Amino acid sequence: MNCPVRKGGSLLRDILLLIKKDLTVEARARYAMTAAVSFALCAVFMESVSLGGVQSSSKMHSAILWLTIFFATIQIVSHIFIREGEEGTEMILRVRFLPRDIFVSKFICSLVLVIPVAASAAVGYLFFFSVTVKSPAVFSLLMLSGLCAIAGASTLPAMLASRARGKGSLAALLAIPSVLPALIVLVRGTSNTISLTGVAFSDVIFLTAYGL
């Protein structure tokens, strides 16, 4: 007996349906969000303690911030894909939706979930390191474009890692090469917002385009 399968429906409707499903599941469980926020805050705090009293450059501060955000992000992105396999819904998604719809929805969902995690990391970073941002508006814009770049570059590696036994640890290893160009730009741009040497808006455009 053949099971009716519908693929290739409305792009926007299918993507919104998948996003709603993922956000509802994450809002009920809250495991990934809690773990990522806890990791980000603890990592920033321990880094500030270990560097206490040491004169650090703005580039070092920026590198610490974005490495923390990257590893917190990869936890969330990989969790979204791994959860589908653990709950047995992966095959249903593959039958019901196009790969394009699944990929786009996972990217958007990851970006939405990463924003509060990155905000927590940024607040902890500014507080524990006693850093003053000279241009908060540009800093916020750089943060958003940076999250777009990291989430976009991490989605495919996380999807590939979910098929292997390595799971989250493998996702981080696979994502590093694709995220590295964005991290270099982010460290430079964030350092400039701290030292007020000027931020090129071409960096923001590059990061946004890199993520998309």
Q: Residue 5's pLDDT is what? A: 45
Q: Residue 32's pLDDT is what? A: 75
pLDDT, averaged per 10 consecutive residues of the chain (212 residues), comes to 49 84 80 82 83 69 86 84 75 79 86 88 84 79 88 83 66 83 87 69 81 75
Q: Which residue has the tokens 């004169």?
A: 55
Q: What CA–CA distance (Å, rounded) separates 167 from 15? A: 25
Alpha helices, H only, the chain: 11-29, 31-50, 58-87, 90-96, 99-128, 136-161, 167-195, 201-211
Q: Residue 198's pLDDT is what? A: 59
Q: Residue 3's pLDDT is what? A: 41
CB 19 within 8 A of CB 108: yes
Tell me the whole-structure pTM to 2 decimals. Answer: 0.82
CB 149 within 8 A of CB 208: yes
